[in-house]
Every structure is written in C-alpha cells, then in structure tokens.
Structure 1
Amino acid sequence: MKRPRFIAEQARHAKGPLGRFVAFVMARETFAGNMRAIDALDVQPHDRVLDIGCGHGRSLGVLAARATGGHVAGADPSALMTEIAVERNRKLVKKGRIEVAIAGADHLPFADGTFDKALCIQVTYFWKHLDAALQEIARVMKPQGRLALMFRTDADKAATRAFPANIYCFRSLAETVAALEAAGFAVDTKHDPAAGQPEEPVLLLATKRAAGAGS
C-alpha cells in the first residue's frame, strides 16, 4: 500500500499537529526495532550513548536506564521531535542524564570522540549524502566505539513500492557496508550473498577503527 506523501514528509521532518500524531504512532511502531538495536549494542553502565534521529525519544529513557553512570544524547533535525523527546524524558533531562539537540546526522554538535555507543534506526533514507553522515558519526565516536545501524534495503520491494522515492532513498546493503568502511568502521558481519537476503530491516553492527588501523 502506497504511503501518502504528506505522511512520508512528516516521517522525514515532523512538524505541526500532524507531526505530533505521527510521533505518537512511531513511538509504538518503531520500539521493537529500537530495542533490537539497543540489545545488540550491549550498553554498559558508564557508556556515553548517542541516538541519531532519536525522534520521539522513547529509546532515550531505555538507554539511560542501562547507562546509569554514563550519559545519553539524542539528535534529530525536527524541532518538534526534539521537543517531544524532552517532554518524554523531562526528569532525566533536568538531572543532566539526557540531552537532546536539534541536529542532522551530517552536522552533530558534539566534540570528537565523545561516544562509546551510537544507534541510528530507520533514518538513513533521509540522508542526501550517506558518506558524509557516516563520517560525521565516526567523528563523534571513540576509537572502538560501536554503532548499530538499522534500515531497509532496496531489496525490500514492499517498502520501496510503499514510500515515495523522492523522500525515501533505499540503498543496497553493499553500498551501506562500503560507506561504513570508508568512514572508518569495521563491519562485524558481512552478509554472504549465498545465504539469501538478510532479514529486513537489516541491522548492521560496526566498530570504529583506531587511528591508523587497517580495514
């Protein structure tokens, strides 16, 4: 079923009353995928964790409950989404356990080497420049920092038919793995084409290589 363009636009950059409703729906629809990525990251008590494209902010509270002695940050280009994320986590924001910034993946307002872990769930479709975004994510992560990246590939024909192509960019698994490696990540598991198409959405785990380390 084709998703209406106005809904797709709200998923990319939520605003207004409709955007608030979309955020409510997304908080339910995306939570299982978010938990899959969070579990895979194995967040430790003193980790500093970044949720890129944090949206409604439901995952931020889960991350803070695991990084009890660390720090959690969220970044989203939508002012409305960051407002909702702050509202949802108001107590932890006031305590300084969580911070939320209005920012896209290609321009993150954090210092080099800040984060031990990062996750990015179902938002790569909206990045005009995959390489630049992944390089920026690598910049703010510590050497050996872990990234969980979840997305649907262009092999998921149901998804590619359902969403407007001028809003959603579905990339191949090979293209995304190559971009991660070019940005300085080592992808933990590379899919074997002989095994067939991996489960959609795909979850990739990558580790930032130390300076001077080979691919």
Structure 2
Amino acid sequence: MNLLNKLIEQAKNPNGILGSFMLRIMNSAHIEMNKWALEKIKVREESVMLDVGCGGGKTLQLLSNMNTYGKLYGIDYSEQAVKDSIRANKVDVETGKVHIEQASVTDIPFPENSFDIITAFQTHYFWSDLENSVKEVFRVLKQEGCFFIIAEVYKINYHMKAYKTKEDMEQLFKKTGFNTVEFYVNPNKKWICIKGIR
C-alpha cells in the first residue's frame, strides 16, 4: 500500500498514533470551513444535536459553544476518533453535556425523532452506502429538524463515484423524504454545505 492510500485509510478510519496525528491535522485544517458552515446552522436553546463522523472532536467543541443549554452527541466509526474526541471534549463529557460513542452512520444507535440538528463534516464521501446512510439520518431526525453535509468539493470529486452533483444530492434528499434542500457554496467554490430540512 503506498503512502497516499495509507493516509486516505487513516482519514477514513483513523487508528493508532498515526490516526491520532491525522485527527489533529484534520481538526486544524478544517476549522475555517467548519466556522463558515456553522454560520448556516441556527441553533435554538436546548437543541439536541448529533455530529456524525465526529473525528477528533473539534466540531463538537464549536457546536457546544453555540449550544449552551443543549445536548450533543457524537458518533464515529473509528475507535481512535472516539478516544480523541472524548479527550478533546473532556469537560463537556464529564458534565454529561456531550456524549460520544463508536457507531456507524448505517446503524445510528438512537431512536426515531431524536435530534433537532445532525451534522456530517468531511465524512459523507467515505460512507459505504450513502443512500441508506441518509435514510438512517432521516430516521433519527425530528420533524422540521435539519441535516447538514459539509465538505471540500475536491474531496467529493476525488472519493465519490456517484452523487457528485448538486442535482444528484437534491434527488437523494427528496427521495428520502426531506421537504427542503438548500445548497451553499463559499465564494471561492472550495466548500459546499448541503442542508436538508425534514
């Protein structure tokens, strides 16, 4: 396996020391994009939020700052990401405001209608079954809840075989049952934010 493939594998499923290093890089590399995207998210007091693919936990920190009285949950497929994310959110985890566990987006361990807001930062292009993953997100989202996918456009183009276009994603969201789908692209067209309202 060449170095690029090793790094992609670590980005997809971080593990060990290299995985932890990769999570730290991702935390700092994505901060500006994350802040841009979070401006699109209207958080009400006491919102219940889920970050899918919470990685190194930086997005959970930002969401926690926006959501003083709410509850936040993070899931990640990677055991290493869960450990690093818990460490990054130590205080909020200890107070019970933030709960992080190892789980897959294809089988989210929460009942229907659990969340007001669900975010997926730089992760959906790694999902093995995008259609069923979006259905699973829809299942745990409350009525009128919002689902946000945020990603760098070049990573979508690099990693995804299907659902690369705005039209494809809109069709997928509508087919799943979302009432409204909105798209935001930053001025230099490097980042995209897709918002689905149930």
Distance 1:183 1:135 in 2: 6
RMSD of the alignment, in Å? 2.1
* Aligned pair partner of 1:183 in 176, 181, 185: 176
Task: Give the 3-state SS of the residue equivalent to 1:40 in structure 2.
Answer: coil
Aligned length: 192
Greater Cα radius of gyration, structure 1 or 2? 1
Are residue 59 (structure 1) and residue 59 (structure 2) matched? Answer: yes
Are residue 173 (structure 1) and residue 166 (structure 2) matched? Answer: yes
Distance 1:115 1:189 in 2: 19
Counterpart code for 1:86 = I
* Aligned pair partner of 1:205 in 192, 195, 198: 195
Distance 1:142 1:69 in 2: 18
Distance 1:177 1:143 in 2: 19
Distance 1:180 1:148 in 2: 11
Return the TM-score normalized by structure 2: 0.89
Gaps of 5+ in 2: none
What is the 5 A alignment of 1:53-202?
Answer: 53-153=53-153, 156=154, 160=157, 163=158, 168-169=159-160, 171-189=164-182, 199-202=189-192
Distance 2:13 2:183 in 1: 31
Return the TM-score normalized by structure 1: 0.82
Distance 1:152 1:66 in 2: 23
Distance 1:142 1:188 in 2: 16
Gaps of 5+ in 1: 192-197, 209-215
Q: Which has the higher contact order (CA 8 A, sep 6+)?
A: 1
TM superposition outliers: structure 1 runs of 4+ over 6 Å: none
Shift of 1:190: 5.9
Counterpart code for 1:184 = G
Contact 1:41 1:147 in 2 (8 A): no
Distance 2:118 2:44 in 1: 12
Distance 1:22 1:190 in 2: 29
Contact 1:45 1:66 in 2 (8 A): no
Distance 2:21 2:151 in 1: 23
Contact 2:174 2:181 in 1 (8 A): no
Contact 2:73 2:98 in 1 (8 A): yes
What is the 5 A alignment of 1:36-51?
Answer: 36-51=36-51
Counterpart code for 2:140 = V
Distance 1:134 1:74 in 2: 16
Shift of 1:152: 4.3
Shift of 1:149: 1.0
Shift of 1:189: 3.0
Counterpart code for 1:207 = I
